Amino acid sequence: MTKPLRALIVEDSKDDAELLLRELRHGGFDPDYVQVETSEAMSSELSARTWDIVFADYTMPHFNAIDALALLHNIGLDLPFIIVSGTIGEDRAVKAMKAGAHDYIFKGNLKRLIPAVERELRDAVVRRKRLQAEKTVHRLAYTDPVTELPNRTKFIEYIKETVAVGLQEHHSVGLLIMDIDRFKDVNNTLGYASGDALLRQIGVRLRSTLSGQELVARLGSDEFGILVPRLTSANDIEQFVKNIQNILEAPFVIDGIPIAVEASIGAALWPDHADEEALLQRADIAMYHSKQMMSGYAVYSPEYNLYSSKKLSLMAELRDAIDQSGQLLLHFQPKVEIATGRIVGTEALVRWQHPRLGLLMPDKFIAICENTGLMNTLTRWVLTEALNHCQAARQEGVLSQVSVNFSARSLHNKNLPEVIENILKAIGTEPDRLTIEITESAIMLDPNCAEKNLTALSRMGIHLSIDDFGTGYTSLANLKRLPVNEIKIDKSFVINMLNDKSDAMIVRSVINIGHTFGMRVVAEGVESKEILDALADLGCDEAQGYYISRPQACELLRKWSATSPWKFPTASS
Ligand code: C2E
Ligand code: MG
Ligand code: MG
């Protein structure tokens, strides 16, 4: 049986080519060949077809074997290359081998041809396999398997290369880090396969914003990096960020479910903000800042570093503030029944009267508590303080309910029902005076544990409320399963409901969903009479917001109620 051989013969003599072909056929090959004798013809044949081997004469009138080899290497081909030539001197043979020829054979001694061809074809297969293996290892080491984008290792190498070019060519380099907001919720609600699918789609959209020189990489779980190598001005990077924000606007569709994606982006520039080593870290700091500020985007500034060391010292001070009391205080905001104007409860909102920094709002310290294990201590303090106020009011004949916010960490504390039961007993308050507010994302962090705790609390008679409803990914199935009494529509929808059709639609649907499940619906963020009236028309049960009252200290709230149209129910009313 003959073996097919696609042979490119670089040779000026037809007769010599014929001799070569005869020898090949004799050796069991069936050559499919083309004969060329110039560089142009060779290069066009190489690009037109796939070849198994090249045979080249050493010298021809218009071409030679060394140039033919160079041409082969220039286009990145690694084909067996055998020189078949009249007698050449030892020095030329060495030169040819050094240039990368695999063998040379004298035309007068063609007997050596077949063993050489067979050996070189075998070697070429081995070389190809090795190359393939190397490419695979390289790909695995530098590619993220989920999105097929370059990974962190590749990204860091690219930063170094790009900064080196920037240094030579005198231009800036921009680095962006983008972190998907609330990605955990997607994983927890829809499963990891859907989370991966979302990341892949985000990767595809990000790639579509690139114009050629930029590199997009997946740096970690829900973190992407984008390197912009040639910045002419800081505005360029803003334009880039805008492009990214635009392409994320349309919802992603995973298994038929539309998912809105929001991201926090941090930018740092070389050489303005950092050397190549610190560039990634600075962009990271900017990203965290934008997340904290919920600004969507931030460019690095040195004060953000300060902010993090400030955060560290705040943490230590907070521990003391909780222990030694006096510095933490509660403000209460009334919740009114829209139909009657009665105050049906108050929400306890914690504040920190800091000796140097003044009155700090919860957004400045709740996250620190979450991350440092102080949360359970803080929640216990708030709960005790709020129930004490509630109990004192009762003794004066004011029948108020109180709502307390629970963070994810407190909700997933295994002893939660026991802890609360002990506090209620110690103060002597009935459980149905207390409402616990939890957010959708806190539930989603560990739905099973949440369900267990919430069921136990509900059995004790405590009321449960889902706060900031509409901002998370609670599935209706979850909502149905949980023993929830109330949902609070997130203020971001309520505030704009008169000007924004989609917000109005969300408010209306949340009211309907809540009523379908037999829950009371509370609108937070009611800032005007017009909004309150609109909510009344939609059948919303309760309202809370600046239009009624800002959160304030307990005594002030009671004084305010005495002269306002909104009244606390009393034992006599
Ligand atoms: P939240 O539970 O959704 O509380 C409502 C927030 O909206 C409060 O902000 C309140 O002052 C503000 N607000 C009320 N009415 C209006 C309005 O008409 N317009 C606008 N624009 N805002 C309004 P605050 O007190 O800064 O609390 C922020 C968040 O901090 C709370 O959101 C809650 O999630 C958390 N938080 C507060 N106290 C505690 C606590 O004791 N424990 C825990 N874990 N979180 C707390
Ligand atoms: Mg709340
Ligand atoms: Mg809320």
Q: Specify whether the CB–CB gap between 348 and 388 falls below 8 A.
A: no
Verify that 86 and 171 share a domain, yes or no: no
Q: Specify whether the CB–CB gap between 454 and 481 falls below 8 A.
A: no
Q: Specify whether the CB–CB gap between 517 and 309 falls below 8 A.
A: no
Residue 320 lies in a domain: no
Verify that 334 and 195 share a domain, yes or no: no
Full pLDDT tens readout for the chain, 573 residues: 889 999 999 999 999 999 999 999 999 999 999 999 999 999 999 999 999 999 999 989 989 999 999 999 998 888 999 999 887 777 788 888 888 899 989 888 899 999 999 999 999 998 888 888 778 777 778 889 899 999 998 999 999 999 999 999 999 999 999 999 888 888 878 888 999 999 999 999 999 988 878 899 999 889 999 999 988 777 888 888 999 999 999 999 988 888 889 999 999 999 999 888 889 989 999 998 888 778 889 999 887 875 566 666 777 788 888 877 689 999 999 999 999 999 999 999 999 998 888 898 998 888 777 766 788 889 999 999 999 999 998 888 787 899 999 988 788 888 899 999 999 999 999 999 999 999 887 887 777 888 899 999 999 999 999 998 877 656 666 777 889 999 999 998 999 999 988 889 889 988 988 898 899 999 999 999 999 999 999 999 999 999 999 999 999 998 998 899 998 887 766
For residue 22, the domain's CATH number is 3.40.50.2300
Residue 313 lies in a domain: no
Task: Specify the residue with its C-alpha closest to ligand 1, atom 41.
Answer: 350
Ligand 1 mutation pick, 405, 466, 489, 495, max ligand atoms within 8 A of CB: 405
178-234 pLDDT, tens per residue? Answer: 999 888 888 878 888 999 999 999 999 999 988 878 899 999 889 999 999 988 777
Verify that 423 and 521 share a domain, yes or no: yes
Q: Residue 86: what pLDDT? A: 85
Verify that 533 and 487 share a domain, yes or no: yes
Bridge partners, residue 438, by sequence: 466
Verify that 174 and 67 share a domain, yes or no: no
Q: Specify whether the CB–CB gap between 385 and 330 falls below 8 A.
A: yes
Residue-wise DSSP of 477-492 = HHHHHS---EEEE-HH
Residue 393 lies in a domain: yes
Verify that 332 and 186 share a domain, yes or no: no
Q: Specify whether the CB–CB gap between 361 and 328 falls below 8 A.
A: no
> Is the four-CA dihedral 440, 444, 449, 452 of positive or negative sign?
positive
468 CA: nearest ligand 1 atom: 3
Residue 450 to residue 483: CA distance in whole angstroms: 11
524 alpha carbon to ligand 3 midpoint, in Å? 6
- End residue of a domain, out of 306, 337, 367: 306
- End residue of a domain, out of 141, 168, 193: 141
This prediction has a pTM of: 0.56
Residue 315 lies in a domain: no
Residue 30 to residue 45: CA distance in whole angstroms: 19
Q: Residue 465: what pLDDT? A: 96
Verify that 161 and 130 share a domain, yes or no: no
**Residue the block writes with tokens 């992603």:** 252
Structural domain including 539 reads 326-563
Reported residue count of the chain is 573
Residue 499 to residue 221: CA distance in whole angstroms: 37
Verify that 534 and 469 share a domain, yes or no: yes
Verify that 233 and 340 share a domain, yes or no: no
Verify that 496 and 349 share a domain, yes or no: yes
535 alpha carbon to ligand 2 midpoint, in Å? 19
User: For the purposes of burial, counting CB atoms within 10 Å of the CB of 449, is it exposed (0-12), middle (13-18) or buried (19 or more)?
Assistant: middle
Residue 87 lies in a domain: yes
Verify that 448 and 552 share a domain, yes or no: yes
Tokens read off for 230: 């040639």
Residue 405 lies in a domain: yes
495 alpha carbon to ligand 3 midpoint, in Å? 12
Dihedrals phi, psi of 478, to nearest 5 degrees: -65, -45
CA-wise closest residue to 344 among 509, 492, 521: 521
Residue 179 to residue 265: CA distance in whole angstroms: 6
Residue 409 lies in a domain: yes
Measured at the alpha carbon of residue 556, what is the angle toward residues 555 and 558, in degrees to the nearest 5? 65
- End residue of a domain, out of 141, 171, 206: 141
Residue 515 lies in a domain: yes
Dihedrals phi, psi of 470, to nearest 5 degrees: 110, -15
For residue 216, the domain's CATH number is 3.30.70.270
Residue 64 to residue 58: CA distance in whole angstroms: 5
Task: Specify the residue with its C-alpha closest to ligand 1, atom 23.
Answer: 525
Residue 542 DSSP label: E
CA-wise closest residue to 497 among 516, 512, 513, 510: 510
Q: Which residues line ligand 1 (CB under 6 A)?
A: 333, 349-350, 361-363, 366, 382, 405-407, 437, 467-468, 491, 524-527, 544-546, 551
544 CA: nearest ligand 1 atom: 15
Q: How many CA atoms lie within 13 A of 255 on its CB side?
A: 10
> Is the four-CA dihedral 425, 429, 432, 436 of positive or negative sign?
negative
At 4 the three-state DSSP class reads strand
Q: Residue 188: what pLDDT? A: 79
Residue 315 to residue 310: CA distance in whole angstroms: 9
Verify that 80 and 164 share a domain, yes or no: no
Ramachandran assignment for 219, one of left (phi > 0), alpha (psi -120 to 50 degrees), beta (any other): alpha
Report the domain count for the chain.
3
